Amino acid sequence: MDLKDALEHAGYRVLGPFASAADALALLRQQVPTVAILGLPLKDQSSLVLTAALRRCGVPFLIHADAVLTEPRAQELQGVPCLAKPALPSDIVALLEEICASASGGSALDAPVRWAGQAGDASNPFIRKLECFTALTDEDRAMLAQISAHPRVVPPHTDLVREGDAPDGVFLVMSGIACRHKLRASGARQIMAYLMPGDLCDLDVALLDTMDHTITTLSACTIVRISPETASDLLENHPRVARSLRLARLVDEATLREWLVNVGCRSAIERIAHLFCELLLRLRAVGLAGEDSYELPITQADLGDTTGLSNVHVNRVLQDLRRQGLIELRGKRLKILNLPRLKAMAEFKANYLHLGERAAA
pLDDT, residue 46, reads: 67
What percentage of the chain reaches a pLDDT higher than 70? 84
Closest CA to 222 of 191, 176, 258: 176
Average pLDDT over residues 78-92: 71
pLDDT(52) > 70: yes
Closest CA to 225 of 144, 165, 292, 171: 171
Return the C-alpha torsion angle 207, 210, 213, 219, nearest 10: 90
At 109, the pLDDT band (50, 70, 90 cuts) reads: very low
At 75, the pLDDT band (50, 70, 90 cuts) reads: low
Whole-angstrom distance, CA of residue 290 vs CA of residue 329: 15
- The rounded mean pLDDT for the chain is 84
At 113, the pLDDT band (50, 70, 90 cuts) reads: very low
3-state SS, residue 114: coil
Cβ within 8 Å of residue 349, ≥6 positions away? none
Whole-angstrom distance, CA of residue 279 vs CA of residue 259: 12
pLDDT(80) > 60: yes
pLDDT, residue 130, reads: 94
pLDDT, residue 40, reads: 63
pLDDT, residue 347, reads: 96
Which tens digit of pLDDT belongs to each residue from 195-238? 999 999 887 777 888 999 999 999 989 999 999 889 889 989 99
pLDDT, residue 29, reads: 76
Average pLDDT over residues 244-252: 94
User: Position 138: which residue type?
Assistant: D
pLDDT(242) > 90: yes
Cα Rg of the chain (Å, integer):
22
pLDDT, residue 118, reads: 39
At 55, the pLDDT band (50, 70, 90 cuts) reads: confident
pLDDT, residue 61, reads: 82
Let me know the angle formed at the C-alpha of 181 by 179 and 187, rounded to the nearest 5 degrees.
125
Whole-angstrom distance, CA of residue 151 vs CA of residue 230: 16
For the chain, give the number of residues.
361
Whole-angstrom distance, CA of residue 270 vs CA of residue 344: 9
Beta carbons of 288 and 326 less than 8 angstroms apart: no
* pTM of structure: 0.68
What percentage of the chain reaches a pLDDT higher than 90? 52
Which tens digit of pLDDT belongs to each residue from 269-317? 999 999 999 999 999 999 899 889 999 999 999 999 999 999 999 999 9
At 104, the pLDDT band (50, 70, 90 cuts) reads: low
pLDDT, residue 246, reads: 93
pLDDT(22) > 70: yes
More confident: 100 or 314: 314
Q: Where are the beta strands (DSSP E) in 85-230?
A: 152-154, 159-161, 170-175, 178-183, 189-195, 200-201, 214-217, 221-226
Which tens digit of pLDDT belongs to each residue from 122-142? 679 999 999 999 999 999 999
